[in-house]
Amino acid sequence: MATPVYIRTKQSIYVQPLAKIRLQDVARVTGQKRHKPVLEQMVLHQVTEEDQNIVVIDSFMIIEQVIEKFPELEVELIGPNQCVVHVEKHQKQPSPLLISAIWVLLFIGAAMAIMNFHYDVSMQAVQQKLHFMLTGEEVEHPLWIQVPYSIGLGIGMILFFNHWFQKRFNEEPSPMEVEIFNYQEDLDHYVAIKENKVEKQDVDR
């Protein structure tokens, strides 16, 4: 009777250049204790310069290598069919001048977007009308409405993105983090199909 071994592959991982990708890096292994340490240390792939920055470890590759070394095992795969390995190459630290220029550009862009929105909806006229309805007086700049509104707008943006510099107000992810997560998930799914060596071998046949 074959000995069952359960392997749960990960969605994606990050490794250093020229690293050896072992089974424990791309998956969690459970089964008989005498097989688990050997399987976890089994090398699936050696990262080379030709791999560039992405390697796809397909579940079929894992099964092939496990059965080749341990034909008496019955492999049960759980989780994703591929693990996308991102090779983290050393990058230079951006200069403070570049960071400042990008920050100023984003600040100006955000300010222009808010001002154009307020111009389109005639926000100043609305505030002037509101002031007239509440006080019966006509003024060009109802500061007692405009100043709290401006402060509230900034506080609302901070609460919406759930961040104040490095401080997080609660465990709920911000909309930006959700969008980045969805983008990374879609990217990994695309790469898992397009850069999969097993899929390419089937196409070449």
Q: Is the pTM above the cut of 0.85? A: no
Final residue of a structural domain among 43, 69, 87: 87
Same domain, 196 and 127: no
pLDDT for 199: 58
Q: Are residues 82 and 102 in the same domain?
A: no
Which structural domain range is residue 65 located in? 5-87
- DSSP assignment of 144-176: HHHHHHHHHHHHHHHHHHTEETTEESSSSPPHH
149-204 tens-digit pLDDT: 989 988 888 888 777 767 777 777 888 888 999 999 898 888 888 777 665 555 45
CB count in 10 Å sphere of residue 5:
19
For residue 166, is it within any domain? Answer: no
Among 62, 87, 112, the domain boundary falls at 87
Same domain, 182 and 151: no
Judged against a pLDDT cut of 80, whether residue 88 lies above it is answered with yes
* Cα gap 88→16, rounded to integer Å: 5
Take residue 179 and report the two structure tokens written for it: 């969008």
The reply to whether 37 and 103 lie within a common domain is: no
Termini Cα distance of the chain: 35
Residues 72 and 114 in one domain: no
In a domain, 169, yes or no: no
Domain match, 83 and 14 both:
yes
Q: Do 53 and 107 belong to one domain?
A: no
Domain count for the chain, please give it.
3
